[in-house]
Amino acid sequence: MPLVKIDSTVTLSEEVRKSRLVSLSRATAETLGKPEQYVMVTFGHAAALMSGKGGEAAFVDVRSIGGLNSEVNRKLSQKICQLLQEVLGISPERVYLNFTDVKGVNWGWNGDTFG
């Protein structure tokens, strides 16, 4: 049920993408206290302009049914920004993150919903 969707100006090789997705999946599950079997992480390429400038940047959309709060969001923000800086060279000030707590009735899976 947690989803971390990253859109970045940086293009990754398949090998690097897979290893980073694993790291992000684990970090998300641990920070939210959710089973990793329900975590989804996606990484896409996007054209982006930030602060009126091109260059490396990322938008991260984090959604979950419960588990999000000010403390968890800060921890996730730190972990995700650190990973993006280490792997992609994207400075944390070039990353926007959006956190959305979704009601279970609005999240579908396996032909049903969580609510």
Q: Would the pLDDT of 88 be above 90?
A: no
Instruction: Write down the mean pLDDT value for the chain.
Output: 92
Q: Is residue 113 part of a domain?
A: no
Which residues are known to be catalytic? 2
Q: Is residue 111 part of a domain?
A: no
What residues form DSSP beta bridges with 113? 108
- Rounded to 5 degrees, φ, ψ at 5 are -110, 120
Q: Is residue 77 part of a domain?
A: yes
Q: Is residue 1 part of a domain?
A: no
Q: Is residue 13 part of a domain?
A: no
Q: Would the pLDDT of 46 be above 80?
A: yes
Q: Is residue 35 part of a domain?
A: yes
Query: How many domains would you assign to the chain?
Result: 1
| 105: amino acid identity, one letter | V
Burial of 77 (0-12, 13-18, 19+ CB in 10 A): middle
Give residue 9's pLDDT band: very low, low, confident or very high (50, 70, 90).
Answer: very high
Q: Would the pLDDT of 23 be above 80?
A: yes
CA–CA separation, 56 vs 61, rounded Å?
17
Q: Would the pLDDT of 71 be above 80?
A: yes
Q: Tell me, what CATH number does 80's domain have? A: 3.30.429.10
Q: With CA atoms as reference, report the closest residue to 10 among 61, 55, 77.
A: 55
Q: Is residue 23 part of a domain?
A: yes
Say what the pLDDT of residue 19 is: 78
